[in-house]
Chains A and B, each alone.
Chain A
């Protein structure tokens, strides 16, 4: 293998981060986020990326329980924040 598991992970995280940022910029143009939506969507995006990083790393190091716990502890709050942020943004734009 040319790249290690971690290197591949961080390369993909770079792409995912870029997609998240582009997504936020695009939807902000459409929906004009207020401060609350920004806070929820920003934190949710960060937590979601962190959840992917944590869980994949835990699988790579051979501790699957840490991966599932990572999904519960970081993944669920991130989804809730993203959903709530989206909801506030849509509500406000109506």
Chain B
């Protein structure tokens, strides 16, 4: 089947029920998207599908034909994504970094949906887990992106 990933068409040889995450990492060698739980519980595997944050470990590839998939590898080609990454660096958000490609995806999707999310919106949308507990830094970076100057951490 054909998948459109980061603006390129990829011919993929996979069973219909293969999770997108496996295709990304194993078939295509795009390892920026991480495997955390495999059960839609953590968000480490988040990608964008038509601009919406999607957990790729539980998304079957047969659902994705005709959609536009964006992964962390190409997120900076997106205007919003580029701003998110910039602020992520500025606020030094990552610690170990394992969850962060997913966090960047979630933040990008949020800012695409609501340009200036309220604190309440941020709380609702940023639900990916971070073992290192970088939540305060994530919030600071998104506050900054939303035009709120939070307390510097």
Q: Do A and B bind each other?
A: no
Point out residues on B near A: beta carbons under 8 Å: none
Binding site for B on A (CB under 8 A): none
